[in-house]
Amino acid sequence: MTSQRTRRRRTAPRTPVPIVALAVIAVVFFALPLLALVLRVPWSDVGDLFTASAPREALLLSLLTSVIATACALVLGLPLAWVLARTQLPGRHVIRAVCTLTMVLPPVVAGVALLAALGRRGLIGASLNDWFGIRLPFTTPAVIIAQVFVAMPFLVLTVESALHSTDRTVEDAARTLGASPWTVIRRVTLPAVRPAILSGLVLTWARALGEFGATVTFAGNFPGTTRTLPVATYLALESDVDQALLMSVLLMVVSFVVLVSMRDRWTGAIGGRR
């Protein structure tokens, strides 16, 4: 491993200057606004953030819903990615487009679409309401549904592309060695795409955590049940800018810690260490 790495370093050509220069611009482009945000935060008020119950409540709700949404995306998205990558299903290009459209849709439109389907007067929502008394909008499950709706494509696309690029002969070999189709999936295919699943999960979770437009449109805003941290932050901008800044930094710190730690995990998996 070590010798391989040093060899690679010796033979790697130097990165051309224009690439480095543009990459530096890209880093500054990301880092500068975030740094400016951090600098503008009234750090003397940081105590209020943790004593006030509203931000804490919103953060807990955000963490809870985004984690559940990520789990739902995994349960539904993994089989979807499988079908898209591994079957000859006619029209799967159309299916893929439909299932990833919410990535490019303005989130508010995604929320309106959810209302049109699951709202009190919605396509299915009306029947749910009339027959079972189930009303989804303005509930915590609605927050999760909105997050899954806009975030799941990140998992599906990441895993599908990994499934396309895996070596199918390894699976064939496993089958001739006596492994059932389930065993092949469990012990060969899923471990092979594990890094992609992990990065897909992190992307999905990050998108769910930051979700605002679809949530506020479909689930509304009620403290404790549907007011997530992004919604609370947006509202705070209307009344107390200092608190809004503190909450946005809180959201950033939580995301940053998770992204950095997960990043190490999954590069470890790719590099082969576990």
Among 104, 131, 133, 264, binds another protein (CB under 8 A): 104
- Residue 141, classified by CB atoms within 10 Å of its CB into exposed (0-12), middle (13-18) or buried (19+), is middle
Per-residue contact string for residues 45-74; x = within reach of another protein by CB under 8 A: ------------------------------
Contact between 272 and another protein by CB under 8 A: the answer reads yes
Binder of another protein out of 45, 71, 138, 161 (CB under 8 A): 138
> Rounded to an integer, what distance in angstroms lies between the CA atom of residue 263 and that of residue 229?
23
Helix, strand, coil abundance in the chain, percent, nearest 5: 80, 0, 20
251 close to 210: Cβ distance less than 8 angstroms:
yes
Would you say 40 or 257 has its CB closer to another protein? 40
* Contact code string over 220-239 relative to another protein, x by CB under 8 A: xxxx--xx---x--xxxxxx
Least spacing, CB of residue 220 vs another protein, in Å: 3
Nearest distance from C-beta of residue 116 to another protein, angstroms: 8
Site for another protein in 158-217 (CB under 8 A): 167, 169-170, 172-180, 183, 187-188, 191-192, 194, 216-217
User: In terms of C-beta density within 10 A (0-12 exposed, 13-18 middle, 19 or more buried), how is residue 204 classed?
Assistant: buried
Distance CA 34, CA 74 (A): 30
Contact 198, 269 (CB under 8 A): yes
Count of residues touching another protein (by CB under 8 A) = 47
